[in-house]
Chains A and B, each alone.
Chain A
């Protein structure tokens, strides 16, 4: 077990290094033209461009730039080219909003999709199942920014039930935190509920035919016991691992659309602002950290699996 965990962690480190190189190359090497030309603006002369080159080291070889950029990002010394703020501080400042959004929505979408998926599976082929299938389909077809805008217009502007947007820290006002996050939680959850409940439904329908389920029935357990102890417990494994990865990507700034439409000032919205300002270093840091987070969580999920199922760690 320990050997498996160590091997998995090493491969995780390798993937992280590859991600950092790829991210750096994407932002530094592929764009046509020199980044200094971009920073200097349209009207800059050769001398100004040269000064910027010297200041940021754009004239150095790529591998030196890479090492320097990574050092800056991880030591908290990376500063936005266009706005001057400290990138790591900005990401930290965005974390409370992003974490609140991710964890709240994560719990909602996990619990709701388990209920919806189970209900659809035990009613497979009936009207309940059909209606839930249609709703799930609408869920996976719904762009968060559109759903968010509709909620903001009808529930906040028209009906005045919810506040229009923004994030209120929990320490500031727990009730304000809750009411400001209700619509974003719902918006972010809808897509995942549609997706997860479809997966759970098909997993349950597969599990129902397993031998151990027949055995459980044969030994006289009630349908309720069979469902909760035998079918659901096994069907939930893929859902939970998916949940870990999706949560990681949302925490890393993947909920950028929801954050932007509700103006939550989280990590995702920081990325959005970086796009508008063409603030390459901020965008680079966010994208890279998000990918790191997914890799880390997927390693955790794998190790957890191996802990549960010896077949995995021996293969």
Chain B
């Protein structure tokens, strides 16, 4: 870091993203904000590449049943402790009966990434686990975004008592460390379930994670609504005699769209991370249902043997979350280079 006088120090000035500079000359007047954003995003190759990587992961995970049925010929919960597999012309045990160490990656259709301590195919479980992670992440994100947007809209629009009630409730939920709250809810619900939700289904962690992130989204949305409701177009709508619901949904909600869009990948990435953390601790996806978190946890229990059982789900988890984060970052830059959307306490 050189702070001495020199050419590098002149950099301390206004930052104008390359994309904005580049489009200034060529942009015809009257281009909509979303078209503009799309043009900016298209120029951000890194972001698009990571978006593509995420799509690839999604497709692979959705194809889990095909892989399981046609290539690996074993299910995600099929144990095979005493079996053998032929690798390069030799017959090898799947789980060594003397040491209990499972077979490592074979790089062929059977046990491509090796087996776990119960002789289950790691590659099959990896794909099914990814499916579970993505499903939980998606449902959690939908829950968070729907409830948070609704609460933020109502609190910011009506202000006063309603706002006080909602904001204080959000403060209470927000005070719990996210992981601890997730654990508390996950542990309770994994045991008994709640209402129509059975304890050992995927929906329990999804609901838990969805609830945990509500304040992180609802608070900034409320702040934005507080500003928007003072603008002229809202006043105009009021003069026209539109009802509160109409003003909220037709006038204010469209103006929240870019914030909401930017929050989606952020929440999705964090929901997948939280799911892995909860499952790692035993408060998320319940066995024998596979999850990357439980796979890593089982792998850690076997360290230093079979370390690939930690690496394979771990790398997959990092790649998935990283791809969502990088794409989401590009999306934010494209939609609003000045936006300050982030999950902060």
**Chain A interfacial positions (CB closer than 8 Å to B):** 14-15, 18-19, 22-23, 26-27, 30-33, 38, 115, 118-119, 122-126, 133, 137-138, 140-143, 145-146, 149-150, 152-153, 157-158, 195, 198-199, 202, 205, 208-209, 222-224, 226-227, 231, 242, 245-246, 249-250, 252-254, 256-257, 260-261, 271-272, 275-276, 278, 283-284, 286-287, 290-292, 294-295, 298
Do residues A276 and B282 form an inter-chain contact, with CB atoms below 8 A? yes
- Choose one: B189, B318, B345; the contact of A146 (CB below 8 Å): B318
Q: Do A30 and B177 touch across chains, with their CB atoms under 8 A apart? A: no
A-B contacts, 13 of them at CB < 8 A, read A19-B176, A26-B185, A30-B189, A123-B8, A126-B11, A141-B322, A158-B304, A198-B342, A223-B12, A260-B281, A290-B176, A294-B175, A294-B176
B interface residues, tally (CB under 8 Å): 63
Question: With contacts A15-B175, A145-B300, A226-B12 known, is A256 near B180, CB below 8 A?
Answer: yes
Please report which residues of chain B, range 252-281, place their CB below 8 angstroms from some CB of chain A when the two chains form the complex.
269, 273, 276-277, 280-281
Q: Which residues of A contact B277 (CB under 8 A)?
A: 143, 145, 257
Q: Closest approach, in angstroms, between the C-beta of A214 and any C-beta of chain B?
A: 10
- Cβ-closest chain A residue relative to B338: A206
**Which among A198, A275, A294 is the interface contact of B183 at CB below 8 angstroms?**
A275
**CB of B119, distance to nearest CB on chain A (Å):** 22
Q: Could you tell me if B3 and A143 are in contact, using CB atoms closer than 8 angstroms?
A: no
B residues near A (Cβ < 8 Å) are 1, 3-5, 8-9, 11-15, 17-18, 168, 171-172, 175-181, 183-185, 187-189, 191-194, 269, 273, 276-277, 280-283, 293, 296-297, 299-300, 303-304, 307, 310-311, 314, 317-318, 321-322, 325-326, 329, 340, 342, 344-345
Chain B residues near A149 (CB-CB < 8 A): 296, 299-300, 303, 310, 314
- List chain B residues, Cβ under 8 A from A126: 11
With A and B bound together, what is the CA distance between A150 and B315 in angstroms?
A: 11
**CB neighbours of A224 from chain B (8 A):** 3-4
**Is A137 a contact of B183 with CB atoms below 8 Å?**
no
Knowing that A115-B1, A208-B13, A223-B9 touch, tell me 17 more A-B residue pairs with CB under 8 angstroms. A26-B185, A26-B188, A30-B194, A31-B188, A31-B191, A32-B192, A125-B18, A126-B11, A145-B293, A153-B303, A208-B12, A224-B3, A275-B282, A287-B176, A287-B183, A290-B180, A294-B345
Whether A294 contacts B307 in the complex (CB less than 8 A), given A138-B318, A227-B3, A271-B183, comes out as: no
A123: chain B residues within 8 A (beta carbon): 8, 11
A146-B315 Cα distance, complex, nearest whole Å: 9
The answer to whether B180 touches A287, judged by C-beta atoms less than 8 angstroms apart, is: yes
CB-based contact B307/A153 at 8 Å: yes
If A18-B168, A145-B300, A275-B183 touch, whether A32 touches B194 (CB-CB below 8 Å) is yes
Q: Are A140 and B325 in contact, with the CB atoms below 8 A? A: yes
Smallest beta-carbon distance B50→chain A, Å: 9
CB pair A257–B280 under 8 Å, yes or no, is yes
Q: How far is the CB of B88 from chain A (nearest CB, A)?
A: 26
- In the bound complex, residues from chain B placing their C-beta under 8 Å from that of A138 are 318, 322
Residues on A with beta carbons closer than 8 Å to the beta carbon of B296: 143, 145-146, 149
Partner of B310, one of A23, A153, A246, A295: A153
Chain B residues whose CB sits within 8 angstroms of the CB of A257 once the complex forms: 179, 277, 280-281
Residues of the B chain whose Cβ atoms lie less than 8 Å from the Cβ of A119: 1
Chain A hits for B329, CB < 8 A: 133, 137
Structural contact, B194 and A124, CB atoms closer than 8 A? no
What's the Cα separation between A256 and B293 when bound, in Å? 14
Given A141-B322, A143-B273, A143-B314, A26–B191 Cβ distance below 8 Å? no
Given contacts A30-B194, A143-B277, A283-B187, contact A19 B172 (CB under 8 A): yes
* Contacting residues, chain A, for B342 (C-beta < 8 A): 195, 198-199
Name which residue of chain B comes closest to A274, CB basis: B187
A175 to B100 CA separation, bound complex (whole angstroms): 36
Contact B176 A272 (CB under 8 A): no
Residue of A nearest to B3 (CB): A224
Contact call B193/A32, Cβ cutoff below 8 A: yes
Residue of A nearest to B345 (CB): A245
**A286 to B180, alpha carbons, bound, how many Å?**
9
The 8 closest A-B CB pairs, nearest first, are: A32-B192, A254-B177, A249-B177, A146-B314, A141-B322, A141-B321, A224-B3, A31-B192
Q: Nearest CB to that of A148 among chain B residues?
A: B300
Which residues from chain A contact B283 at a C-beta distance below 8 Å?
A: 275
CB atoms of B12 and A227 under 8 A apart: yes
Provided the pairs A124-B15, A149-B296, A223-B12 are in contact, do residues A38 and B191 lie with their beta carbons within 8 angstroms? yes
Is there an interface contact between A294 and B321, defined as CB atoms closer than 8 Å? Answer: no
Contacts of A137 in B (CB 8 A): 322, 325-326, 329
Q: Which residue of B lies closest to A16 (CB)?
A: B175
List chain A residues, Cβ under 8 A from B12.
122, 208, 223, 226-227, 231
Residues of A within 8 A of B168 (CB): 14-15, 18
A294 contact set on B, CB distance < 8 A:
175-177, 345
Q: Is the CB of B317 within 8 A of A143?
A: yes
Expressed in whole angstroms, the Cα–Cα distance for A141 and B172 within the complex equals 27
- Give Cα A246 to B303, complex, Å: 31
A26 touches B192 (CB 8 A): no
Q: How far, in angstroms, from A138 to B179 measured CA to CA in the complex? A: 20
Query: What is the minimal beta-carbon distance from B149 to any residue of chain A, in angstroms?
Result: 23
Q: Are B281 and A208 in contact (CB under 8 A)?
A: no
> Within the assembled complex, what's the spacing in Å between the Cα atoms of A222 and B4?
8
